[in-house]
Amino acid sequence: MDKFVIRGGNPLLGTIRVSGAKNAALPAMAAALLTDEPVILENVPQVRDIETTRKLLASMGAEVELGYGRAQHRTTLCCSRIAAPEASYELVKTMRASTLVLGPLLARCGTARISLPGGCAIGSRPIDLHINGLERLGANITQDHGYVEASARRLKGAEIIFDKITVTGTEDLLMAATLAEGETVMQNCAREPEVADLANLLNKMGALIEGAGTATIRVRGVEKLHGARHRIIPDRIEAATFIIAGALTGGDLNVTGCEPRHLGAVLQKLSEAGVKTACSEDSVRVMGDNPLVAADVVTEEYPGFPTDMQAQYMALATQANGTSIITENIFENRFMHALEMVRMGANIKIEGRRAVVRGKSPLSATAVLASDLRASASLVLAALVADGESIIDRVYHIDRGYEHIEEKLRGVGAQIRRIGEILPKKATAPAVRA
Ligand code: UD1
DSSP letters for 340-408: HHHHTT-EEEEETTEEEEEE----B--EEE--SHHHHHHHHHHHHHSBSEEEEE-THHHHTTSTTHHHH
Rounded Cα distance, 268 and 264, in Å: 6
**CB-defined site of ligand 1, < 6 Å:** 23, 26, 96-97, 123-130, 164, 166-169, 194, 307-308, 330-331
**In the β-sheet with 39-42, what is the strand arrangement from edge to edge?**
63-67, 74-78, 39-42, 228-231
Rounded Cα distance, 156 and 122, in Å: 34
Distance from residue 92's CA to the centre of ligand 1 (Å): 15
Q: Write down the pLDDT at residue 122.
A: 65
Express each pLDDT in 142-170 by its tens digit: 998 989 999 999 999 999 999 999 999 99
User: What average pLDDT does the segment 423-428 reach?
Assistant: 50
Angle, helices 310-317/236-248, rounded to nearest 10 degrees: 10
Active site residue 78: no
Which residue ranges form the domains of the chain, and what is each CATH number?
Answer: 3-19+234-419 (3.65.10.10), 22-221 (3.65.10.10)
User: Is the model's pLDDT at 422 over the cut of 80?
Assistant: no
**pLDDT bracket for residue 434 (50, 70, 90):** very low
User: Is the model's pLDDT at 432 over the cut of 80?
Assistant: no
User: What average pLDDT does the segment 54-66 reach?
Assistant: 93
Backbone region of residue 329 per phi and psi (left: phi > 0; alpha: psi in -120 to 50; beta: other values):
alpha
Rounded Cα distance, 95 and 89, in Å: 10
Catalytic: which of 78, 120, 258, 279?
120
Which amino acid is located at 227 in the chain? G
Rounded Cα distance, 87 and 66, in Å: 20
- Mean pLDDT (the chain) is 94
Q: Write down the pLDDT at residue 117.
A: 81
Q: Write down the pLDDT at residue 433.
A: 40
Q: Write down the pLDDT at residue 430.
A: 44
pTM of the full structure = 0.95
For ligand 1, atom 7: residue with the closest CA: 23
Rounded Cα distance, 406 and 393, in Å: 14
Distance from residue 356's CA to the centre of ligand 1 (Å): 24
User: Is the model's pLDDT at 272 over the cut of 60?
Assistant: yes
Q: Write down the pLDDT at residue 168.
A: 97
Pocket test for ligand 1, best of 166, 192, 237 (most atoms within 8 A of CB): 166
User: Is the model's pLDDT at 121 over the cut of 80?
Assistant: no
Rounded Cα distance, 6 and 383, in Å: 6
User: What average pLDDT does the segment 346-351 reach?
Assistant: 97
Rounded Cα distance, 182 and 74, in Å: 34
User: Is the model's pLDDT at 262 over the cut of 70?
Assistant: yes
For ligand 1, atom 11: residue with the closest CA: 308
Atom of ligand 1 nearest to the CA of 194: 15
